[in-house]
Chain A
Amino acid sequence: MTTDVLERPDATASDGTTDEEQVFVTLTVADQLCGVPVLGVRDILGEQSITRIPLAPPEIAGSLNLRGRIVTAIDLRRRLSLPPPPAGQKRMSVVAEQAGELYALLVDQVSEVMSVKSSAYERNPPTIEPAWAAFSSGVYRLEGRLLVVLDVGKLLALSDVG
């Protein structure tokens, strides 16, 4: 509803066409640019100390303390069946809320808030890996690279995993 407020100056200005714009927080995981809708993001965190939760599904990295609230951290690499990050790499988190609970998605890097035109949207190509297809709700064609939109709701729907 307030996309214009979040619009970045370098985003291509609307030239009178009816092109709507979507705003995403962009992040990288295993060198792939991904985006989550900005309105679903509560917080961006740097490297955090995370408490391991024994017996939890492997996708769950643990829990962390966000200003007195306990946040369950989910490892996006494991969720997307990617190899673990190189040792020593600092990781960042994108915090999202789902049904009153906070979850942190552990990603390699959070970059910027970007608004993209709806006209650049395409559905998932049918050939992408099932692990990605399950959690992606489409792709945006950007200059020089592609932005995969992650469906946070599906990423957090872990109940069938355990």
Chain B
Amino acid sequence: MDDLLADFLTETNESLAELDVALVTLERTPDDADTLSLIFRMVHTIKGTCGFLGLPRLERVAHAGENVLGKVRDRTLAATPDIVSVVLTGLDRIKAIVAGLAATGTEPAGDDSELIAALNATAAGNPPVRKIAAAPAPVAAAPATMQAPASVLAPTPAPVAAPPVAAAPAEASAMMESAAAAETATGTGPNTVQTIRVTVDVLEDLMTLVSELVLTRNQLLQLARTQENSGFTVPLQRLSHITSDLQEGVMKTRMQPIGNAWNKLPRIVRDLARDMEKKIELVMIGADTELDRQVLELIKDPLTHMVRNSGDHGLETPAERRAAGKPETGRVTLNAYHEGGHIIIEIGDDGRGLPVDRIRAKALANGLATEAELASMTDAQITRFIFRAGFSTAAKVTAVSGRGVGMDVVKTNIEKIGGTVDLKNMPGQGSTFIIKIPLTLAIVSALIVEAGGERFAIPQISVVELVRAQREADRKAGQSSDSVIERINGTPVLRLRDRLLPLVSLNALLALGSASSEDSGAYIVVAQVGVNMLGIIVDRVFDTEEIVVKPVAPILRHVTMFSGNTILGDGSVIMILDPNGIARATGVGAGTESKMARHGPTETIRSGERTAMLLFRAGGEQNMAVPLGLVARLEDIPREKIEVSCGSPVTQYRGKLMPLVSLSGNVDESKPRQPLLVFTDRDRSMGLMVDEIIDVVEDRLNIELSAARPGMLGTAVIAGNATDVLDTGYWLMQAWQDWFRFNPKNATAGSARRVLVVEDSAFFRQLLMPTLGAAGFQVTAAASAAEALRLRDGGAMFDAIVSDIEMPDMDGLQFAEAVRAGGSWASLPMIALTAHSEPRDIEAGRDAGFTDYVVKFQREALVSSLQQCLSEPVTA
């Protein structure tokens, strides 16, 4: 019986969550037979199971609800908002009873006769007005929606507004998704994908075991490294691979679509809209983006809070919106997608944006900053005050938000799981919060450093770069090429590319009390904390290692500098530093924002802006450069690690063979070590052998001379020297002939025309920008179709669009249709980039509205296509 009840509770809770969503969908599209029968079936199942399990109270409520739904299904009743409200009230009651059942194992006592009467009256076809009026008084637990019958009935209830499908492509895709979801649900029969239910505990235990296995594997590998030609090498290699696969597999079992955290939102937004008398439409994109369930649990509440905020503070009333020339229905958009090892969640609204003046006044009133400080801050810096404790600008405290415990809690919770929150504000056009969180908390990549004789791990996510610097004491002795740590009244700072980077010494911060390394050089780990940069001075830097994060013992929780601890491959225990904690302890990011703010994750990059370039030398004295963003890693490998396979040099890299390409054609075999630039895309890597890695500089990338030499894009003046800029694509082709067929996307063009590049792969985006820049175009890049459309809505204008075809969420064809459907870009030339050049594909592209079709990485073809498109008037 207990098992049965437990199963029933699990199933019912799932159904109830789905029901909320489905009912709100139904309200918007009352004629959707699929949604309706889905709802009917779920309520019916709950009712039927209750009878079987002997739960009379639940059965009666479910039965009354089913009656109403039955009439709606039979078309005797129309699914008006009022009827849906009554049914939702019934569902709330069911939820309350189920919660009681879960807590005590028996049905809680209570009287449902009024609710059942209201449901029955609705089913009998009485006009909803009377039912609404009759229901609220007796039904004690009725939600807020029920309590304002008169005012709700006066204006047209929000969700009835015809959905403006054509105007909103993003929304259209969301609707398609929900329709697809409904379809899947309808098709759910005994013969869908086979699943079994496993308790979360089992998975957690499994994950712990795998984590231990990974550690043990690392230890074995470390041991094996010291023994040449041991018989263990081969089986160990295999064990290593299997462990990695196992780890991946177990991680997958913990992954859940983020949509699970969004389930409740449609209902919340709907109730909010009714309470606030606003018209709100919730658009959810990327609901199937997966992340670790542990992370999912932790972001649920912050997300709900932020969506509420957007609806409450962000969106205006219909009257205000009309006055501002916007559609009456405000839109709250949730967008989730993967980027690297992270998941990005954007919560945006098209409302009034954050009131910078009010925030400024409030910050002053609360003593968070002085007038002089505020005067020197940008608007973006001022808006970030909302993340401070006790800050709420809502003029009045509503039931929904405005209690002043909000964004600071959200920020703290997100930082707790190693994530960051950022904010984009466009006054009058809305605001967007951008959350970046790791996919999983269990295993992270970390940089191992040493300070004061102790080793520490710093999560790779927050490490931006490493700088080698001289301590001030040896300034005279130090070489001029090294950076020097300078001091302002004893506080260390570093000049890094013409900016001052605040530094903290790990030694001093952690009171390690060892001054032994004062005489040698130091390394500075440049870490990103929110929008701030912070340099952490350490004595030595070791390697990066995959570590399993374990929480610290409870008696150490008050030491906020650590986010956990772990066991390294050599069996030793090591503490994991929390850059957020370090920043808090040192005051970085507390008040004024550092000028070192980096680009937000979705910020568009203009090619005229400064780009970080890696300088190196290969086969000559002249400096060469490559955009740093293209380089995955710098390595320095011993010469004997280079092997020859099929006549080409290769090396074993992270368990795989990586092809090596020599830039100069001949390799200096005399040097004991070989510096490598490693380029990675998806699961492929290649190493470019160079003579010497010089520096990283940030400069405008203006390619002035086109290349006569294959493999070079051209020559640019970087840091005052003429520098050859590497054509990464050429060298990738040297290593993997099929690189671009395998993972396609690319282009070229010329004459100060503005080109928008829409490309989901950061790698090829970075590759396209200099290529097109070299051909004379002014390039703007967008990472997704949705981002591109936001640029359009933001009023950006271009002369041409180059778009990838294969992209997640909205692909190139859908994007083209969306562009052609209207708006300021409707008649722009659009060029598709693709790996497929079958006539059929080309036709599909043309049908969608593409002007031309170019096979990826045919630069000449892309450039000439662009030139042709731009010289001719385009007819869409």
Chain A positions near chain B (C-beta within 8 angstroms): 49, 51-57, 60, 62-65, 68, 70, 72, 99, 101, 103, 156, 158-159, 162
User: Chain B, 559-597, contact with A by CB distance < 8 Å: what is the 0/1 string?
Assistant: 101100111000111110000000000000000000000
Contact indicator A158/B512 (Cβ below 8 Å): no
Assembled-state Cα–Cα distance A5/B62 (Å): 59
Question: Whole-angstrom distance between the alpha carbons of A99 and B555 in the complex?
Answer: 11
CB <8 Å contact, A159 and B454:
no
- Indicate whether A162 sits within 8 Å of B558 (C-beta atoms), given known contacts A54-B511, A54-B512: yes
Q: Quick check: B550 and A51 within 8 Å, CB to CB?
A: no
Q: Which residues of B contact A57 (CB under 8 A)?
A: 555
| B553 interface hit (Cβ, 8 Å) | yes
Q: Which of B512, B559, B561, B565 contacts A70 (CB 8 A)?
A: B565
Chain B contact residue count (CB 8 A cutoff): 24
User: Can you list 8 A-B pairs, Cβ within 8 angstroms, ordered by A?
Assistant: A54-B575, A55-B559, A55-B561, A56-B559, A65-B571, A68-B215, A70-B550, A70-B573
A34 to B555, CA, bound (A): 24
B454 surroundings in chain A (CB, below 8 A): 51-52, 54
A64 contacts B573, C-beta separation under 8 Å = yes
Q: For the complex, what is the distance from the CA of A65 to the CA of B219, rounded to whole Å?
A: 13
List B452-493 residues whose CB lies under 8 Å from chain A.
454
Whether B372 sits at the interface, judged by CB under 8 Å, is no
Q: With both chains docked as a complex, state the minimum distance between the C-beta of A106 and any C-beta of chain B, in angstroms.
A: 15
Given contacts A54-B512, A55-B510, contact A162 B573 (CB under 8 A): no
Instruction: State whether A49 touches B572 (Cβ < 8 A).
Output: yes
Which A residues touch B573, using CB under 8 A?
51, 62-65, 70
Establish whether residues B216 and A68, one from each chain, have CB atoms under 8 Å apart when the complex forms.
yes
Report the minimum CB–CB distance from B222 to chain A (whole Å).
Answer: 14
A-facing residues in B192-231 (Cβ within 8 Å):
212, 215-216
B1 adjacent to chain A (CB < 8 Å): no
Given A68-B212, A162-B559, 16 more A-B residue pairs with CB atoms under 8 Å apart are A49-B572, A51-B454, A51-B572, A51-B573, A51-B574, A52-B454, A56-B559, A63-B553, A70-B553, A70-B565, A70-B573, A72-B553, A99-B554, A101-B553, A162-B555, A162-B558
A77 to chain B, nearest CB (A): 18
**Could you tell me if A159 and B554 are in contact, using CB atoms closer than 8 angstroms?**
yes
B708 within 8 A of A: no
Nearest-CB residue, chain A, relative to B571: A65
- Are A51 and B555 closer than 8 Å at their CB atoms? no
Name, among A64, A65, A103, the residue most crowded by chain B CB atoms within 10 Å (CB to CB). A65
Contact assessment for B567 and A101 in the assembled complex, using a CB-CB cutoff below 8 Å = no
Question: What is the minimal beta-carbon distance from B628 to any residue of chain A, in angstroms?
Answer: 33
Minimum C-beta distance from B578 to chain A (A): 12
B234 within 8 A of A: no
> Provided the pairs A54-B512, A65-B572, A65-B573 are in contact, do residues A60 and B555 lie with their beta carbons within 8 angstroms?
yes
Flag if B556 contacts A56 (CB, 8 Å): yes
CA distance A101 to B555 in the complex (A): 10
Query: What residues of chain A lie closer than 8 Å to B566, measured between beta carbons?
Result: 70
Smallest distance from the beta carbon of B641 to chain A beta carbons, Å?
30
What is the chain A residue whose CB lies nearest that of B575? Answer: A53
Query: Given A51-B575, A52-B454, A54-B511, are A68 and B556 neighbors across the interface (CB < 8 Å)?
Result: no
- Cα-based distance from A162 to B454 in the complex (angstroms): 22
Which residue from chain B places its CB closest to the CB of A162 in the assembled complex?
B558
A130 to B558, CA, bound (A): 26
Name B515-558 residues within 8 Å CB distance of A.
550, 553-556, 558
Q: Which residue of B555, B572, B574 contacts A156 across the interface (Cβ within 8 Å)?
A: B555
A156 closest partner in B (C-beta): B555
- Compute how far the CA of A53 lies from the CA of B575 in the bound complex, rounded to whole angstroms: 7
* A10–B512 CA distance with the chains assembled, in angstroms: 49
CA distance A52 to B512 in the complex (A): 10
* CB-based nearest A residue for B512: A54
Chain A residues contacting B553 (CB-CB under 8 Å) are 63, 70, 72, 101, 103
CB distance from B216 to the nearest CB of A (A): 7
- The answer for the CA separation of A103 and B555 in the assembled complex, in Å, is 10
Q: B511: which A residues are within 8 A, CB to CB?
A: 54-55
Closest-by-CB residue of A relative to B452 is A54
Please give the distance in Å from B517's CB to the nearest CB on chain A: 16
Chain A minimum-CB-distance residue to B566: A70
Residues from chain B with a CB closer than 8 A to the CB of A68 are: 212, 215-216, 567
Contact of B510 among A51, A54, A62, A99 (CB under 8 A): A54
- Would you call B556 and A72 a contact (CB within 8 A)? yes
Given contacts A65-B567, A68-B215, contact A53 B559 (CB under 8 A): yes
Residue numbers in B under 8 Å from A159 (CB-CB): 554-555
B572 CB to closest chain A CB (Å) equals 6
Rounded to whole angstroms, the CA-CA distance of A162 and B556 in the bound complex is: 8
For the complex formed, measure the closest distance between the CB of A38 and the CB atoms of chain B, giving whole angstroms: 23
Smallest CB gap from B513: residue in A: A54
Determine how close the nearest CB of chain B comes to the CB of A62; give it in whole angstroms. 8
B461 to chain A, nearest CB (A): 22
Name the CB-closest residue of B to A157. Answer: B555
Contacting residues, chain B, for A103 (C-beta < 8 A): 553
Q: List A contacts of B554 (CB < 8 A).
A: 99, 101, 159
Identity of the chain B residue whose Cβ is nearest the Cβ of A55 in the assembled complex: B559
Q: Is the CB of A158 within 8 A of B561?
A: no
B506 — nearest CB in chain A belongs to which residue? Answer: A54
Question: In whole angstroms, how far apart are the Cα atoms of A68 and B216 in the complex?
Answer: 8
Residue of A nearest to B215 (CB): A68
Contact with A along B856-867 (1 / 0, CB 8 A): 000000000000
B residues less than 8 Å from A60 (CB atoms): 555-556
Interface residues of B in 22-63 (CB under 8 A from A): none
**6 shortest interchain CB distances as A-B pairs:** A54-B510, A72-B553, A51-B573, A158-B555, A63-B573, A68-B212
> B299 → chain A, closest Cβ, in Å?
25
Q: Which one of A52, A53, A156 contacts B556 once the chains associate, using CB atoms below 8 Å?
A: A53
For the complex, give the distance between the alpha carbons of A158 and B558 in Å: 11
User: Chain B nearest CB: distance from A148 CB in Å?
Assistant: 23
- Docked CA distance A62–B573 (Å): 9
Bound: A55/B561 CA distance, A = 9
Residues of A within 8 A of B512 (CB): 54
* A56 to B573 CA separation, bound complex (whole angstroms): 15
Query: What is the chain B residue whose CB lies nearest that of A68?
Result: B212
Complex contacts, B555 vs chain A, CB 8 Å: 57, 60, 72, 156, 158-159, 162
Residues of B within 8 A of A162 (CB): 555-556, 558-559
Residues in B whose Cβ lies below 8 Å from that of A70: 550, 553, 565-567, 573
Taking the closest CB of chain B, its distance from the CB of A46, in whole angstroms, is 15
Q: How far is the CB of A154 from chain B (nearest CB, A)?
A: 13
Closest to A159 in B: B555
CB-based nearest A residue for B558: A162
**Bound CA span A51–B512, Å:** 13
Least CB distance, B79 to chain A, in whole angstroms: 51
A contact residues around B574 at 8 Å (CB): 51
For A56, the chain B residues whose CB sits under 8 A away are 556, 559
CB distance from A157 to the nearest CB of B (A): 8
Shortest distance from the beta carbon of B538 to any chain A beta carbon, whole Å: 13
Contact flags (1/0) for B792-832 with A, using CB distance below 8 Å? 00000000000000000000000000000000000000000
Task: Please measure, in the bound complex, the distance between the C-alpha atom of A62 and the C-alpha atom of B559, giving whole angstroms.
Answer: 13
User: Which residue of B is nearest A161, CB measured?
Assistant: B555
Min Cβ gap A150→B in Å is 17
Cβ–Cβ < 8 Å partners of A99 in chain B: 554
Q: Shortest Cβ distance from B724 into chain A, in angstroms?
A: 47
Determine which residue in A55, A99, A156 has the highest number of CB atoms from chain B within 10 A of its CB, and name it: A55
Q: Which residues on the A side are within 8 Å of B561 (C-beta)?
A: 54-55
> B305 CB to closest chain A CB, in angstroms?
30
Against A, the Cβ 8 Å flags (1 = close, 0 = not) of B593-607 are 000000000000000
Across the interface, which residues of B come within 8 angstroms of A158, CB to CB? Answer: 555
Q: How far is the CB of A158 from chain B (nearest CB, A)?
A: 4
* A52 vs B198: C-alpha distance when bound (angstroms): 40
Contacts of B562 in A (CB 8 A): 53
State A25–B574 Cα separation when bound (angstroms): 30
Interface-central residue, B554, B565, B572, B573, by most chain A CB under 10 Å: B573
- How distant is the Cα of A52 from the Cα of B215 in the complex, in angstroms? 21
